């Protein structure tokens, strides 16, 4: 038996024995990728993804701003304030030219003073006329009383004279009868020759004288009534004169009262005109209707002409909070709901310095609004339609890192980012895959 030669036993050969060795950094990188992918998958179960709606926005006051309107037409002579200025109720915003009204007021006041002076003069004349009327009435009464007394004296004198004449006639009648008897007796005595005829003639002469005296006395029984009538006429004249004077003074007094009434009406008219002119003068001062912040002032310089009722500015009431009005396109409105959070970037406050201001959706308009071409505030094209979404901000002032302030004022534009949905990435991907599956 022959022995074969002895050889070493060889190890088996594998395929990877022909590959170069793996570098240590490649191994580390591979493990890093594996860990990163695993971490991303794990994070997708916890990290939340935000679905947002971006829309142009503008800062506006809540509710309606109060209009500042000129109540008079005129030329602006002074402007007391400017846009975005705080004002108090009643503060003067602008003055209109009041030169003509001031001249009119001076004229009316002069006429008013003149009317009052004339009224005082007429009152004095009325008092004087009343005093003259009283004096004239008293004088007429005194004159009438004096003439009445004279009439009574004249009447009484005539009556006394008549009584005296009657007594004298009676006495003369007795003497006449006695002389007649004596004459008759002497006639018989003469015929008998007892006495001389001369004595008879004496008795006859005495009888004739007594008869003549009797005739004279009888005439005195009816004295003339001329004095009595004259006295009565003087009474009538005095009464008539007094009545005429009283009537004249009464007429003069009535004329004065009529003039007084006319002047009072003129003064009343002047008072109304003065009140109106003062009101017009007040209207030349354009005042703030409420306390707040003035904006949208249309007055640029003095000499500008404004019309009555023209709106020259607006005032945001001091107690009216600011709101952000976002204009959400119609195709994205279904993503917006009330009470959703939002972030507002304000153009006037640089984002790199002030960041954004947080807010929350408070109201969504029930219908669309078409944006005019002249006021296209970031909407894609003129005439685009959108829904108005009101957002309440948490604060009205933004602070920078250097503690600088940027105050929100009405009219500032910006962009609102409304966070419509917040979900994990894995749920987002599942929802997208589900939608794609339903679409297919």
Return d(Cα 264, Cα 110) in angstroms, integer.
Answer: 15
Share above pLDDT 70 across residues of the chain, in percent, rounded to a whole number: 74
pTM over 0.75, yes/no: no
pLDDT value, residue 1: 42
Q: What backbone torsions phi and psi does residue 45 show, to the nearest 5 degrees?
A: -85, -15
pLDDT value, residue 307: 92
Question: What average pLDDT does the structure give for the chain?
Answer: 78
| Domain spans in the chain, listed from the N-terminal domain onward | 48-63+320-439, 66-97+284-311, 101-278
Q: What backbone torsions phi and psi does residue 55 show, to the nearest 5 degrees?
A: -150, 145
139 pLDDT band, cuts 50/70/90, is: confident
> DSSP string of 194-233?
SS-HHHHHHHHHHHHHHHHHHHHHHHTTS---HHHHHHHH
pLDDT tens-digit readout, 85-97: 888 999 999 999 9
Instruction: CATH number for 66-97+284-311: choose from 2.30.30.90, 2.120.10.30, 2.40.50.100, 3.40.640.10.
Output: 2.40.50.100
Token match 């971006």: residue? 54
Query: Do the domains spanning 48-63+320-439 and 66-97+284-311 agree at the CATH topology level?
Result: no
15 pLDDT band, cuts 50/70/90, is: low
Please provide the CATH number assigned to the domain covering 48-63+320-439: 2.40.30.170
pLDDT tens-digit readout, 246-282: 777 788 888 888 888 999 999 999 999 999 999 989 9
- State how beta strands 385-393 and 369-370 pair: antiparallel
pLDDT tens-digit readout, 148-170: 777 777 777 766 667 776 776 77
Q: What is the dihedral of CA 377, 383, 387, 392, to 10 degrees?
A: 20
Query: At 353, is the secondary structure helix, strand, or coil?
Result: helix
């Amino acid at each position: 038996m022959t022995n074969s030669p002895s050889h070493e036993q060889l190890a088996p050969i594998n395929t990877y024995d022909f590959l170069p060795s793996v570098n240590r950094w490649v191994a580390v990188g591979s493990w890093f990728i594996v860990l990163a992918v695993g971490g991303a998958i794990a994070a997708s179960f916890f990290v939340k993804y935000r679905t947002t709606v971006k829309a142009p926005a503008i800062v506006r006051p809540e509710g309606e701003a109060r209009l500042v309107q000129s109540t008079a037409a005129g030329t602006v002579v002074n402007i007391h304030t400017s846009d975005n200025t705080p004002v108090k109720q009643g503060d003067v915003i602008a003055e209109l030219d009041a030169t003509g009204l001031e001249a009119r007021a001076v004229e009316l006041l002069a006429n008013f003073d003149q009317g009052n002076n004339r009224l005082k003069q007429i009152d004095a004349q009325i008092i004087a006329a009343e005093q003259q009327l009283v004096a004239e009435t008293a004088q007429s009464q005194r004159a009438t009383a004096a003439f009445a007394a004279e009439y009574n004296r004249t009447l009484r004198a005539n009556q006394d004279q008549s009584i005296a004449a009657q007594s004298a006639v009676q006495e003369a009648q007795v003497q006449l009868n006695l002389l007649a008897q004596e004459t008759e007796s002497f006639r018989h005595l003469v015929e008998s020759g007892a006495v001389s005829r001369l004595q008879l003639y004496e008795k006859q002469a005495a009888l004739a004288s007594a008869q003549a005296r009797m005739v004279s006395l009888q005439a005195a029984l009816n004295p003339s009534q001329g004095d009595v009538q004259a006295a009565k006429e003087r009474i009538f004249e005095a009464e008539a004169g007094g009545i005429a004077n009283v009537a004249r003074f009464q007429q003069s007094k009535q004329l004065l009262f009529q003039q007084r009434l006319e002047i009072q009406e003129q003064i009343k008219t002047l008072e109304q005109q003065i009140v109106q002119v003062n009101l017009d003068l007040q209207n030349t001062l354009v005042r703030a209707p409420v306390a707040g912040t003035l904006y949208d002032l249309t007055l640029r310089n003095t000499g500008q002409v404004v019309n009555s009722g023209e709106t020259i500015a607006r005032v945001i009431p001091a107690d009216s909070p600011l709101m952000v009005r976002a204009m959400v396109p119609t195709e994205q409105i279904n993503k917006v709901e009330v009470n959703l959070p939002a972030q507002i970037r304000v153009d006037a406050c640089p984002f790199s310095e002030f960041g954004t201001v947080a807010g929350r959706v408070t109201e969504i308009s029930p219908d669309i609004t078409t944006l005019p071409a002249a006021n296209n505030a970031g909407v894609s094209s003129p005439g685009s339609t959108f829904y108005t979404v009101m957002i309440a901000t948490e604060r009205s002032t933004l602070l920078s890192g250097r503690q600088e302030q940027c105050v929100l004022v009405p009219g500032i534009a910006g962009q609102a980012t409304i966070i419509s949905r917040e979900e994990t990435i894995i749920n987002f991907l599942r929802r997208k895959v589900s939608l794609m599956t339903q679409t297919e």
